[in-house]
DNA sequence: ACCTGAACACCGTTCAAGT
DNA sequence: ACCTGAACACCGTTCAAGT
């Protein structure tokens, strides 16, 4: 959109500002859409026709810019009717919109995943809506945030999985050494093809339903003191 | 371990080789263990007392080195008794060992996740063992690989989640605007603290059990032609 | 206040040259 | 074959200087 291939602006403050938070964010999304994991401030500056250092006047660090992008993405997710439907219904379109949004910006997924939420009003508001629905539906209080985070972890991991080639798990080098993998990978790829979607998309939809069903089962049994405790086994496996 | 802070080796082929695949991998794991997402060939070369370009003699690219590290990590995961136990039992310690391994190398998680499996014999062998167990237990053939990939996506996403601060979802800036999140996040953190684990660890264990339970439910209903089809809804949500 | 331009401390990778 | 050293094309960030 904004081409401006550098009429070599001279030094000093321009008469009218060339940049703004909005213009930078817009160009940043264009750059992130042009797929490939190459998202750098330098290439963003090139696209905007400015020097890289000019960007730091609006966003102090690269992480701050990405945090702002995350806020925009969250805004566009929409509400998905958590107020009208039970959480396990409304969460499905929310999850689909989330991975779709992540998939549109391949170069950002890893960065978005590790970014602290911190003071991000949009993400906080999004979480608040979902958490409130779980509370309203009687989900066990101390398992609401874990359920939400587990779901988001699955979404993030699936988004990264979507970056791998469609036949990523196909044993091409020594197929005779992994016959079961060869068989089942072909079956899964054929099923995805028949459905007109990628294997990664089919995997996501399948895993999403399984995870939500599992989370729901625990929540329904949530009135009693919880025999399906989530705490016990961790002491025998996971460390720091 | 290997200090060798550069007695300034002179040019030309050394009388006895200074590097080897094993020495490089060992140092690479030491570097990845020293937490922080800074894993570079330059810092690895510094640790080994060589020039960065020397590394390319053993691993053509950084991605090739990380692929080799992934192979080592997979080897150390162990077998976890998929031959003796049903898949939904053996998969639990396998998943715990996986996230523990990822958690030990924070700087590698994102790179490991996006790496194509390609010709990685160790990972292929690991998958083959798991897939074979699912087949043996009668899991629907075209859902075996999706089940495995969904689980691994959850593990990868959870590993990334483990990098965020423990109170990542706590609304500190405007707590009055998100009361439900404030309540439930505190409840979850308190429960984790009482169990002597981090919130991320408790979330992982909880989500793992929910996901496996959900995957198992679909598999048990797998004899019939599948009314719980994974294909239909994708046509109304997920795109390229 | 808002930009340029130089500078700093990094990256991964290639390749000629030396032994 | 196995390393050094120089070179190339990048990074993010800081900061003085100009308007």
Please check the confidence at residue B182 and state whether its pLDDT lies above 60. Answer: yes
Nearest residue of A to residue B231, measured between CA atoms = A195
A45 Cα to chain B: minimum distance (Å): 24
In percent, how much of chain B has pLDDT > 70?
Answer: 85
- Quote the pLDDT of residue B203: 97
Go through chain B and tell me how many residues it has: 240
- Quote the pLDDT of residue A198: 93
Chain A residue numbers with beta carbons less than 8 Å from the beta carbon of B213 are: 213-214, 217-218
Interface test with A, best of B234, B235, B236, B239 (most A CBs within 10 A): B234
- Quote the pLDDT of residue B80: 86
pLDDT-wise least confident of A62-66, A109-113, A156-160 = A109-113
8 Å CB contact of B153 and A207? yes
The average confidence (pLDDT) of chain B is: 87
Please tell me whether any atom of strand D lies within 7 Å of the Cβ of A34.
Answer: no
pLDDT tens readout for residues A5-60: 445 799 999 999 999 999 999 999 999 987 666 799 999 999 999 999 999 999 99
Q: State whether residue A27 sits within 8 Å of chain B by CB.
A: no
> What mean pLDDT comes out for the span B101-122?
81
Please check the confidence at residue B68 and state whether its pLDDT lies above 50. Answer: yes
Are the CB atoms for B156 and A160 separated by under 8 Å? yes
- Quote the pLDDT of residue A213: 97
Better-predicted residue by pLDDT, B211 or A78: B211
pLDDT tens readout for residues A170-204: 998 889 999 999 999 999 999 999 999 999 999 99
Please check the confidence at residue B235 and state whether its pLDDT lies above 50. Answer: no
Q: State whether residue A98 sits within 8 Å of chain B by CB.
A: no
Better-predicted residue by pLDDT, A236 or A132: A132
> Using N-to-C axis directions, what is the helix angle for B199-220 and A199-220, rounded to 10°?
100
> What mean pLDDT comes out for the span A90-97?
97
pLDDT tens readout for residues A118-135: 668 899 999 999 999 999
Q: Which two tokens stand for residue A106?
A: 């391949």
Determine the Cα–Cα distance for residues A141 and A26; give it in Å rounded to an integer.
Answer: 39
Please check the confidence at residue A234 and state whether its pLDDT lies above 60. Answer: no
Strand D nucleotides, any atom under 7 Å from protein beta carbons: they are: 1-7, 10-19
Residues 13-32 of A with CB under 7 A from strand D: 13
Residues 30-59 of B with CB under 7 A from strand D: 49-51, 53-54, 57-58
pTM: predicted TM-score of the whole model, two decimal places: 0.88
Q: How confident is the model at residue B7 (pLDDT cuts 50, 70, 90)?
A: low
Interface contacts (A, B; CB < 8 Å): 336
Please check the confidence at residue B237 and state whether its pLDDT lies above 50. Answer: no
pLDDT tens readout for residues A143-159: 999 999 999 999 999 99
Chain B residue numbers with beta carbons less than 8 Å from the beta carbon of A137 are: none
Please tell me whether any atom of strand D lies within 7 Å of the Cβ of A12.
Answer: yes
Please check the confidence at residue A229 and state whether its pLDDT lies above 80. Answer: no
Please check the confidence at residue B226 and state whether its pLDDT lies above 70. Answer: no
Of A181, A207, A217, the CB nearest to B131: A181
Interior/surface letters A56-91, b for 16+ CB within 10 angstroms, e for the rest: eebbeeeeebbbbbbbebbeebeebebeeeebbebb
Q: What is the distance in angstroms measured between the alpha-carbon CA of A61 and the sugar C1' of C7?
A: 18
8 Å CB contact of B184 and A134? yes
8 Å CB contact of A203 and B146? yes
Please check the confidence at residue B105 and state whether its pLDDT lies above 60. Answer: yes
């Amino acid at each position: 959109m904004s081409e401006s291939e550098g009429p070599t602006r001279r030094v000093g403050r321009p008469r009218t500002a060339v940049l703004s938070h909005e213009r930078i964010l817009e160009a940043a999304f264009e750059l992130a859409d042009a797929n490939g994991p190459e998202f750098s401030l330098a290439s963003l500056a090139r696209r905007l026709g400015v020097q890289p250092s000019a960007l730091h006047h609006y966003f102090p660090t690269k992480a701050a810019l990405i945090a702002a992008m995350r806020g925009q993405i969250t805004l566009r997710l929409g509400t998905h009717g958590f107020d009208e439907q039970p959480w396990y219904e409304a969460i499905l379109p929310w999850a689909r919109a989330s991975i779709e949004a992540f998939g549109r910006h391949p170069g950002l997924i890893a960065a978005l995943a590790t970014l602290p939420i911190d003071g991000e009003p949009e993400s906080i508001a999004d979480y608040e809506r979902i958490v409130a629905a779980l509370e309203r539906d009687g989900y066990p209080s101390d398992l609401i945030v874990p359920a939400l985070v587990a779901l988001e972890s699955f979404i993030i991991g699936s988004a990264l999985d979507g970056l791998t080639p469609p036949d990523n798990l196909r044993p091409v080098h020594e197929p005779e050494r992994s016959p079961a993998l060869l068989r089942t990978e072909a079956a899964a790829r054929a099923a995805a093809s028949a459905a007109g979607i990628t294997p990664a998309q089919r995997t996501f939809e399948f895993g999403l339903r399984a995870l939500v069903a599992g989370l729901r089962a625990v929540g329904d049994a949530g009135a009693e003191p919880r025999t399906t405790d989530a705490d016990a086994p961790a002491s025998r496996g996971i460390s720091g």
